Structure 1
Amino acid sequence: MKLKSLLTAGPFVGAALFFAGFLPLSAQAQEFSESHIEAARQVVKETKALGSFDDILPLLAEQTRTLFIQSDPSRTQEVVDVSTEVALKLAPRRSELNNSIYEIWARRFSEEELNQLAEFYRSPIGTKLAENGPTITALAIGAARQWQDAISTEMVTLVREELDKRAAE
C-alpha cells in the first residue's frame, strides 16, 4: 500500500515535509528561479520521492465513499459514481503538491547543490540508495521500535525494583 510507503519514504522526504511546517509564511512564499525549481524537480524525480504520495487522492476518495455510504447505504452506487467523478476532477491538482515538494527542496538546497544531488542520484550508488532508502528506513524504524519496547520493559522492571527496595528500607 502506498500510504505505508508514504510513512517510510525515507528521511529526506519526511524531514523536508516536517521542517517546512515550521517556516514562517513569508519564507514559504519565497520565489525561486525556474532553473532552481527544475534542479529540485530533478532531485525529487531521481529520489522517486513523489511516488509515496500517489495514493493520497484514491485514499481520500475511498474515505469519502465510506462516509457517505454509511450515512445512506441506499445510495451506494450513486456515491461511488460521484466520488469517483470528483476524484478525477481533483486529480489535476496533484501538481500543487508536487510544486510544494519542489519548493521544499529548493528552500533547503542551492541550485548548485540540487544539481549535485541529482547527479549523485543518477549514479549507480545513488540509484541504489533511492531504491533501497524506504526499505532501509522501514527496517530501521522497526529495529528502533523493538529496541524501545525492550528498553521500556527493562526500565519499568528496574524502576519497580528500585521503588520496592526503597519502600522496604
Structure 2
Amino acid sequence: MIFSARTLRGTLLASLMLVCSASVQAQEISSGHLAAARSAIGAIQATEQFDNILLNAATQIKAELIVNNPNLQGEISTMVDDKAIELAARRGDLENEVARVYAKLFTEQELNEIAAFYQTDAGKKLLSQGPVATREMMSAADVWANGIMRDLRTSAGEGMRQIVAANAPAGAAEGGVAAPTTGAAASN
C-alpha cells in the first residue's frame, strides 16, 4: 500500500496528538494550578488568535455548500450559522487544553506572576506594542545583517587578494594581484 506524504503526515500528527493527549491527562494538575494557568492565558491573550477559527470554518463550509446549491443560499447560511452556534460552547475545551499546556510548563507561582505582570499597565502595553516592536526589531536586524554581509564580503575580498598575492609565483604579482582561479588551471 502506498501512502502519500500528506496522508503519512496526517497519520503521524494524529498519533502524536493522541500520545500527547494521553500524557497530559495522565499528569495530575491541581485545580489551583489550572486556575492560575487560566488567569495567565487570559492575561496574555494566548487564545485570542483562535477566535476566528469557528467563524472561518463556517464561512468556508457555507461557500462550499452554496456552490453546489446556489438556490438555497439563505437556508444554507442560516443552517450553518445555527450549527456553528451549537459548536461555540466547545471553545471552553480549547481554553482548558491551553491551560493544561501552560500548567505543565510553568509552576502555579510562575503563572500567578505572569498573570499579575500582564495585568499591569506595562504588561498590557507589552501585549499591544510587542508586535510593532518585533516588526521593527526584525527590520533593524535585516539592515544590520546586510551591513555585516557587505563589510564581510569587502574584508574577505581584501583578504583573498592578500592570500593570492602571497601564494603567487615570483614575478607574477609585479603588475598587480593575480585573480583567484577556481577549478582546473588554464593551459597554454
Bin of the TM-score, shorter chain as denominator length: 0.5 to 0.7
Figure out how many residues of one structure are paired with residues of the other and give that number: 135
Corresponding residue number in structure 1 for 2:106: 109
Shift of 1:166: 4.0
Listed as ranges, the gaps of 5+ residues in structure 2 are 1-15, 154-180
Task: Name the SS of the counterpart of 1:49 in structure 2.
Answer: coil
Seq. identity, %: 31
Aligned pair partner of 2:24 in 28, 31, 35: 28
Structure 2 vs 1, CA of residues 66 and 140 (structure 1 numbering), >3 Å: closer, same or farther? farther
Distance in 2 between the 1:73 and 1:166 partners?
66
Distance in 2 between the 1:88 and 1:96 partners?
15
Higher relative contact order (CA 8 A, sep 6+): 1
Higher helix share: 1
**Looking at CA atoms only, which structure, 1 or 2, has the larger radius of gyration?**
2
Question: Does the 8 Å contact 1:37/1:102 carry over to 2?
Answer: yes
Distance in 2 between the 1:101 and 1:68 partners?
32
Q: CA RMSD in A?
A: 3.0
TM-score, normalised relative to structure 2: 0.61
TM-score, normalised relative to structure 1: 0.67
Aligned pair partner of 2:84 in 84, 87, 90: 87
Distance in 2 between the 1:96 and 1:71 partners?
33
Structure 2 vs 1, CA of residues 25 and 85 (structure 1 numbering), >3 Å: closer, same or farther? closer
Distance in 2 between the 1:65 and 1:86 partners?
11
Question: Does the 8 Å contact 1:46/1:130 carry over to 2?
Answer: no
Distance in 1 between the 2:136 and 2:75 partners?
42
Listed as ranges, the gaps of 5+ residues in structure 1 are 1-19, 159-164
